[in-house]
Structure 1
Amino acid sequence: MMFRQKQDGAALIMVLLIVAIMIVLAVGLTDGVRYSSQRLLNQRLMDQGYWYALGGERIAVFALEDIANDTVTALNQDWAREDIVFPIDGGSIAGLITDEQACFNMNSLYRAEPATGAEEDVLAAELVFTALLENLQISPQRAEFIIGRTQDWIDDDFSPEGIYGAEDLSYTALDYPYLPANNLLESVSEMALYAEFEEDEKALITPYVCAVPAVNTVINVNTLPINKAALLAAAIGNVLTVEQVKVVLENRPENGWADVASFVTALELPLSETVPTKLLQGLGVKSQYFKGLADVFYEQRQMRLFSRVVLKNGKAIVYAREYGEVF
């Protein structure tokens, strides 16, 4: 009898053990199914948000094509509105378009040939960038350093140029080695790889610069915001102070200046002061490059799509996209 009771107890323990194992397996299976279902739901909602974002992109393309053949690009045009919000089922789409020629294009520093050191060999872009950093209270030496590093980063050779030049050997010798792009900048975030920013330099400089996939672009005096007066002052050779340039921008015509000559007239410079011709060639009243943002809020989820657009032959062409936040 005692032996049989022991057998019954062992059998009960085995049954309980099997039940416990089955419960653990069932819980694991249930959790797996739940997580898979949630993952699929999230993926479906993000995919839907992405398609809504592409819809917002198309609206931006239509808005830009409306002004593609205009002779002037200005802030009174529909593309420049900042209050665009479209309701959708389960959320909304907010849109914003910014002019990528209302900034200093770092790729304009590109040099096809090494510098000769002669005064007339200095690029207009080099003068503007140096003057911009001067307006931001950053020394000419730092400007020269960043210019030299930028030019070596974007040129297509492997030979360092100038006293601040750096190529493969400089970057591969770092604790975390990498190679220079040897191509035009795609984002100003690349500057962090070579500019060796000091203290608050990055925060000071980056709001004024951009990376447009072209070398010969102009700064649009019609779309440059008032808070970037330091750049416009630099673009005209600092013949006016930043505060004086702010006043000029505050009095800018609603439709923008018809041409660069009208802008220069509005500066009301004394006869003894002129804007160097080399710098005037870097100014314009029409833009080709833009960045659109489609900010989708859908079912308590957010999708941000940045679209880079160029106007060519009357068409707005999306040539690059970035997702999420841009650093």
Structure 2
Amino acid sequence: MRAARGQQRGVALITAILVVTIATIAATAMAVSHQIALHRAQTLQESEMGWWYIEGVEQWVMTILQRDAETAEYDSLDEPWAQPVDYLPVDEGVLRGRLEDLQGRFNLNNLASVDAEAQARYAGHFQRLFVLLGAGTDFEAVAVTSVIRDWVDKDQEPTGFDGAEETEYLGFSPPYRTADRPMVDVGELMAVKGMTREIYELLRPHVTALPVVGSHINVNTATEPVLLSLVETPGPELTDFLESRGELPLQDVSAIEAGLNVDAPPIDVNSQFFGLESEALIGSSRVGLYHLIYRPTGAPPTVLARGAHPD
């Protein structure tokens, strides 16, 4: 009898321990779930705040560009819009931003020009830039220029012996089609025949993909290789200007046009296309965005695209 009661007490004790264990596990799971829910809510709140800050940065930059257009007759790297913001404290975080003149880069879509003379000037500029950057030889520069042109033009006729149209790309593994329209972002370069990661990384800081064909190079803001590759042999006017433009930007292109030959691509001292990289670090969240901004002559700036950085 005593043994039976002892066994009953043992079973009751094990049952009690089991109940307490299950209750503890359930309470822990609920607490963890609650903490996860709180963290998720906090992250969503921080991300939402970050997006609002990013929108504020965009509007702020658009105002700066509008005021610059109203007060300045040229665009250069010593102006307020060109100064990066690396650390701007805000409530619960930090903002960063950088605005770049995209007309200081070579526009890949210029290679789609249907005007033979203009196309030849743009092709020559890109080929010189390609060689100057150490991306390849003159022969390789011509080949890459041809395949890029075939990617951005509207027809299916290969450019010379080096071009490549859809019939060749369909033979790749996996097969794909040519775009046959202007590039949307520079990353499309990786899809053209013969492009490698090494060549792409050399070109990337000096090329862009603007939504126009026939854009000019702003000599005040052009990267050094883009500026020096305007002509086959840079004259003293061009090299001297490169050294002095930080303090003495040009207000009129006529001061440097004398140092360029007739085959040089068109240049300017004003710009219409800008790329804004903005970043908001709020709490443990990060929000980053790239903005393509267009500032037409005589009209307020507008945002053409937003998204991840095209590079």
Alignment pair present for 1:319 and 2:304: yes
Letter in 1 for 2:276: G
Letter in 2 for 1:10: V
User: Secondary structure in 2 aligned to 1:200?
Assistant: helix
Letter in 2 for 1:310: Y
> Contact between 2:113 and 2:214, CA under 8 Å: does it hold in 1?
no
What is the match of residue 109 of structure 1?
Answer: 111
What is the match of residue 264 of structure 1?
Answer: 257
What is the match of residue 25 of structure 1?
Answer: 26
User: Secondary structure in 1 aligned to 2:151?
Assistant: helix
> Contact between 1:131 and 1:238, CA under 8 Å: does it hold in 2?
no
Taking a change above 3 Å as real, the CA distance of residues 12 and 181 of structure 1, as seen in their structure-2 partners, is farther
What is the match of residue 272 of structure 1?
Answer: none
> Contact between 2:113 and 2:119, CA under 8 Å: does it hold in 1?
no
Deviations 1:76-101 (A, max 9, x none): 32212235754322233233211000
Taking a change above 3 Å as real, the CA distance of residues 122 and 50 of structure 1, as seen in their structure-2 partners, is closer
User: Secondary structure in 1 aligned to 2:190?
Assistant: helix
* Cα distance in 2 between the residues matched to 1:174 and 1:15: 69
Alignment pair present for 1:126 and 2:98: no
What is the match of residue 141 of structure 1?
Answer: 139
> Contact between 2:190 and 2:196, CA under 8 Å: does it hold in 1?
no
> Contact between 1:156 and 1:182, CA under 8 Å: does it hold in 2?
yes
Taking a change above 3 Å as real, the CA distance of residues 35 and 163 of structure 1, as seen in their structure-2 partners, is farther
State the shift of 1:283 in Å: 1.0
Which one is further off, 299-308 or 146-155? 299-308
Taking structure 1 as the reference length, the TM-score comes to 0.82
Identity level (%)? 26
Deviations 1:187-213 (A, max 9, x none): 212211225335732232222111111
Pairing of 1:277-316 with structure 2 (within 5 A): 277-280=262-265, 282-312=266-296, 313-316=298-301
* Cα distance in 2 between the residues matched to 1:84 and 1:16: 58
* Cα distance in 2 between the residues matched to 1:4 and 1:170: 88
Taking a change above 3 Å as real, the CA distance of residues 10 and 123 of structure 1, as seen in their structure-2 partners, is same
Letter in 2 for 1:318: V
State the shift of 1:19 in Å: 3.0
Pairing of 1:1-327 with structure 2 (within 5 A): 1=1, 2-69=3-70, 70-83=72-85, 86-112=88-114, 123-137=120-134, 138-157=136-155, 160-198=158-196, 200-224=198-222, 228-240=223-235, 245-252=238-245, 254=247, 256-265=249-258, 267=259, 275-280=260-265, 282-312=266-296, 313-323=298-308, 327=311
Taking a change above 3 Å as real, the CA distance of residues 162 and 22 of structure 1, as seen in their structure-2 partners, is farther
State the shift of 1:253 in Å: 7.4
* Cα distance in 2 between the residues matched to 1:147 and 1:292: 28
> Contact between 1:233 and 1:240, CA under 8 Å: does it hold in 2?
no
Deviations 1:88-120 (A, max 9, x none): 22233233211000010111111449x8xxxx6
Letter in 1 for 2:279: D
Gapped regions of structure 2 (runs ≥ 5): none
Deviations 1:262-282 (A, max 9, x none): 1234x4xxxxxxx333425x2
Taking a change above 3 Å as real, the CA distance of residues 277 and 101 of structure 1, as seen in their structure-2 partners, is same
What is the RMSD of the two structures over their aligned residues, measured on CA atoms? 2.8
Taking a change above 3 Å as real, the CA distance of residues 213 and 326 of structure 1, as seen in their structure-2 partners, is closer
Taking structure 2 as the reference length, the TM-score comes to 0.85
State the shift of 1:186 in Å: 2.0
State the shift of 1:235 in Å: 1.2
* Cα distance in 1 between the residues matched to 2:46 and 2:22: 36
Taking a change above 3 Å as real, the CA distance of residues 53 and 310 of structure 1, as seen in their structure-2 partners, is same
Which one is further off, 63-72 or 47-56? 63-72
User: Secondary structure in 1 aligned to 2:179?
Assistant: coil
Gapped regions of structure 1 (runs ≥ 5): 268-274
Deviations 1:16-35 (A, max 9, x none): 33332332232222212211
Give the total of aligned pairs: 307
